[in-house]
Structure 1
Amino acid sequence: MQGRIRIAIACAGLLATSAVAVRAQSTYRETGSVTVGGYIVWVRGTNAKTVELFVGRGFRDAFARPHEMDAARLQQWIDSVRAIAPLPADDSSSIDTRLRGAVVGTDVTMVRRVGGPFSGLRLLVNGEEPITMAEPTARDFIAALDSAVHAASDLTPESRMAHMLPGDAPVAAPTVAIAPEPATPVLPHVAAPPVAPAPVVAAPPIVVVAAAPTPAPTPATTPALTPVIGVAPPSADSAVTIAVIEPAAVQAPPELVLPMPSEPVLVASRVEIGPMPLPRPAIPAPVVRALPAPEPDLVVVAPHLDSPADKLIHTPLGPFTIPGAMLADRDKQVQYCYSQLGLKYNPDLKGEITVKLAVNSDGSVQDAMVTKRNWQGISAGEVEACVRALAKDWTFASTDPAVTAGAKILTFTFAPQVASAP
């Protein structure tokens, strides 16, 4: 019974410790994300009183670098932008935008605009191109930031202790009285009678005597004997003899005698042998062949020309490379801009743009400008910037009837499977 009570007490303490440890393991909490053009922005609160912001281009990168913002400073900025009053719709003043911006982190800057032609939020991260959010997306992003600030406050250790529910406190184990075990009777110690030790009898010494060896033919000098404890020295008339073993005489190896040669040895004379002369090779007489006359319908194959080098252009979101294989055809260039900068980040992107080209007298394009469009967004702006950059390398014939007063108008239609230009 006592063993069961001890096991119950140990289990209760282990459960209480596990509950506290599980709550201590939560170090961050993600509160929301928004998608803007080709970017995905998500935030989360941490237990270090900070809010981490991540930016991924096209997808949520598992190795994206977090950009830290102080939770208290971010809360002040959120309260200030929520207090901005929008301008009335009929206000025609020149300054029609109310702006509130701040450097929230070491590499994060956010600017909030309310009213005017553009109302939303502009996010600058690590000095890159700004990410512009429209009004609905800006409101969702600010709500996610506010939730991340509260999550950081909840995950802070001192905040958790202040808001701990009564059920979260560790439960003290009940005190259980344990009955003492019955004492084991102790018998009185009885001294044993002393036992007299047995007398020690010394063993008689053992003397080893060797038999007398056969007398050696040569007399040997008897060395001095060293007395051995427990062995009586031999008497003068004893038959024990000590023999001294001398090392045997070492015989020298026999000498090796070689017989003299019966005939004298002749020394070989040195003879130099030169290379044998080779016969002179026969050189055939040159054969002159007459070249055949060219046929009248002979097809001349032009030499192979290397493909043009890749072209580097700059768009609002950064540098972009056009492969040289796409530069040979004007339609391929435009289609590549649409597929790589438009459809790749917005699969539903489609629309039409009108481009006005300023053409020089030699047919080269001096400038390109988009005069009409029926789409919008970051991906659409990337496609337009790519087309304008490539159009400056185009050339037209001086007799092109479509060039009027040094200008040429081109219209491009973009759809997920159609991209054409007249």
Structure 2
Amino acid sequence: MSIEVLTLLFFGALLFFLVLGLPLTFVLGGVSVVFLYFTWGFDSFFMVASQIWSTMESFTLVAIPLFVFMAMILERTGVANDLYRMMHLWWGGVRGGLAIGTLGICALFAAMCGISGAAVVAMGTIALPSMLERGYDKNMALGCINTGGGWGILIPPSILMILYSLITGVSVGKMFAAGILPGVLLMVLTTAYIIIRCYLQPHLAPALPPEERASWGEKFRALRAVILPIAIVVMVLGSIIGGITTPTEAAAVGVLGALISAMVYRKFTWSLMHEAAIRTFKLTGMIMWILFAAHAFSAAYQSMGAQELIEGLMEMIPGGPWGVILSMMLIVFLLAMVLDPVGIMLITLPVFMPIVEGLGFDPIWFGILFVINMEIGYMTPPFGFNLFYLKGVVPPSITMQDIYKSIIPFVLVQVLGMGIIMVFPDIATYLPDLFF
């Protein structure tokens, strides 16, 4: 049977079972095992087991449960409440100020914990009611929370960057350094969008009335709220960039910072530790099973001759090397709407990376584009994770359709940012070259 027919059957079976609503792990693993058996026989299972075993031995993977545990603790310490109060006092007097402040808090959360859900849930609980109460347009309020929450996988430390490095063999430290300037760029572009939109349509995000604005003394006293988050960011990123720790060891430093934060806010209890640990086990277990299933998928598809097929298809794409990169980004963008980011990485990267390197592109630069695409996937329907995180904390009056509608202009801003990084790759590669 030809590779083209096998590809249609393989992906058709995947799509069929995903549409039925079966978990991604069982679909990826189950379909792959069946195809492996009928194409290579029983002995092919040893190849899958060997790949999984080599993955389990990776020291880099230790960082994932540590960063997740760090996020679970920070989510419950009260850091978000104090940060929002500070942003409220400083930015409330500006049109769209509460939305801009919310973006700033999301960026800080991203730099502390490396996952997207923590900032979305925290700001959906704290910032959204405040913005709606003060007359903010719900699309503006929902969109900025959804967007800012997604930066958790771009601004280092990022769990997806760790997985990207594990799959592709590039340096985790270089990926972390590469994410800083693109994260700042996306924050600046999104802030500029809010400022311009609110200037043209002031009713979307009115400034606080003068009687609700803070004095300068209150503003400066509120700045104490950022000391602890910035200290955690410096502990994690500073220890990596300074060469004191590896990214995996820095995750343990981050957990220490989160525990100190819980003690400072007097939230450190055994029940907090127990709940954070249980949620960490659940989330890490889910990631690991998807990782194992995707290894089976990768082994199955590559054993059918996928590399030759994909390379042949890429040669047919008009536009030369840039046409290939744009096609890859489009494929990832479409997959991110319906599949888990970890699964997408493990399905596409083993196929894409040899082509990217063969065309002479920097794998660090490509990795940043890939991660931004994953971030956009977190906020796009129908299955973007941030959409469901947000739906879980919004008032009953806000429907899923409202959340879907709110993200359209913000997605366009993120795509613009990705386009700028494509045209000016130094935005992603300057800091890795400087630090390493």
Query: Could you say whether these structures have the same fold, taking a TM-score greater than 0.5 normalized by the shorter chain as the test?
Result: no
Tell me: higher relative CO, structure 1 or 2? Use CA pairs within 8 A at least 6 residues apart.
2
Q: Which has the higher helix share?
A: 2
Larger radius of gyration, structure 1 or 2? 1
Q: Which has the higher strand share?
A: 1
Q: TM-score range by the shorter chain?
A: under 0.3
TM-score normalised per structure 1: 0.18
